[in-house]
Amino acid sequence: MEARAAELLPVPYFHVVFTLPAAIADIGYQNKAVIYDLLFKVSAETMTTIAADPRHLGAKIAITSVLHTWGSAMTHHPHVHMIVPGGGIALDGLGWIAKRPNFLLPVMVLSKLFRGLMLERLTAAHAEGLLSFHGAHAHLADAGTFADYLAPLRKTRWFVYAKRPFAGPKAVLAYLSRYTHRVAISNRRLIAADGKAVTFKVKDYRVEGAGRYTTMKLDTHEFIRRFLLHVLPKGFHRIRHYGLLASGVKAANLARMRALLDVALPGRPTPAAADAGDALPIPCPCCGGRMLIIERFEAGCQPRHRSTPVIIRIDTS
C-alpha cells in the first residue's frame, strides 16, 4: 500500500464500474483467461478513448482497474472496478485538464462504446479459436450460432456505473487496501455452518434501505461450488494499470502529473511543509488533503508563486 500511496494525486478520484451482461458471463466461466482479459482491456480502451475526445475531456487519463467476479450471493458476476483521477494531461502535454467536481464522463456514451468494442473482440476471439465451449454451450462453437447468440446483446444496454468521487486520496487508499485482495465472501458475512448447510449475509442491490440486507442458506456442496467459481487462472493479475499508469511509462507520467499540479515528489517536502506551523488545521474541501501555506505577502502586493493553471471544460452532453 505504500507504493499505491506514493502514486496518489491531490485531485478528486472517481469510481467507475464496467459489468459484463449475464450472457457473456455465462461463456466467461468456460473461458476465464480470455474473457476477463478482454474485460480489462476493452473497459480501459473505452475510458481512454472517450476521455481523449475533446467533446468530453480531451485528455490522457490514469486508470487502476480491479477485477471482481462475484455478486453478493457468490454467483458468477464479472465486473471491473476502476479508480480514475478527475482529470488528465492535455493531449498536447502542456497542461492538466480537470473535470467538474461531480462528473467525469457520460456513462451512456461509455456504455455504447464498451458494448461495441466487446462484441467486436469476442467475435474476433471466436474466429481465432481462442474460445472453448462445453456442455449446454457446446453449440456455440459454430461461428453462425455464436453470432446469433451475440445478436440480442447489440440492442441491450450494457451497464457502466460512475460513482461519486472518493472523499480524498486517503479514501482511495482505504478502498484499495480493502478490496484489492478480497475473495468472494469474507468471514464477517458468515452466520452459521454445519455439515449440511452454510448461512451467510447477502445484499440485494435492487432494494433500497434496510430491506436490501437479508440472509441466504446454501447446501454445503453448493456453497463450495460457488466459492470455487471465482478462482482465477494461474498467474492471472486481477489488478492492472492503464493509460498514464501503464507499465513502462508510469514513473515518467506521475512525475509529469505532479509537475502540472505543482505537487512535490513523495518524501520530498516543499519549503512550506518543512515548517509544521504552516499546515492549516482544516483539510482541502475538494480532495481532503492537507492544505499548506506556500507564501505570505502584504496587502496590495502580487504573490511571487505561480502555479500551473488548471483548464476546466464544461461537458454539456
H-assigned helices in the chain: 2-7, 22-28, 32-52, 107-127, 143-150, 169-179, 220-228, 250-261
- Predicted pLDDT at 9: 86
- Predicted pLDDT at 286: 62
Residue 240 has pLDDT above 70, yes or no: yes
pLDDT band at 299 (very low <50, low <70, confident <90, very high): low
pLDDT band at 312 (very low <50, low <70, confident <90, very high): very low
Q: How many residues make up the chain in this entry?
A: 317
* Interval 60-69 mean pLDDT: 93
- Predicted pLDDT at 253: 94
Q: How much is the mean pLDDT over the chain?
A: 84
Tell me if 241 sits within 8 A of 250, measured CB to CB: yes
Q: How wide is the angle at C-alpha 24 spanned by C-alphas 138 and 77, nearest 5°?
A: 120
Residue 149 has pLDDT above 50, yes or no: yes
* pLDDT tens readout for residues 28-40: 999 999 999 999 9
Q: How far is CA 87 from the centre of its chain?
A: 15
* Interval 86-112 mean pLDDT: 90
Residue 180 has pLDDT above 80, yes or no: no
pTM over 0.85: no
Residue 71 has pLDDT above 60, yes or no: yes
For the chain, percent of residues with pLDDT exceeding 70? 80
Residue 57 has pLDDT above 50, yes or no: yes
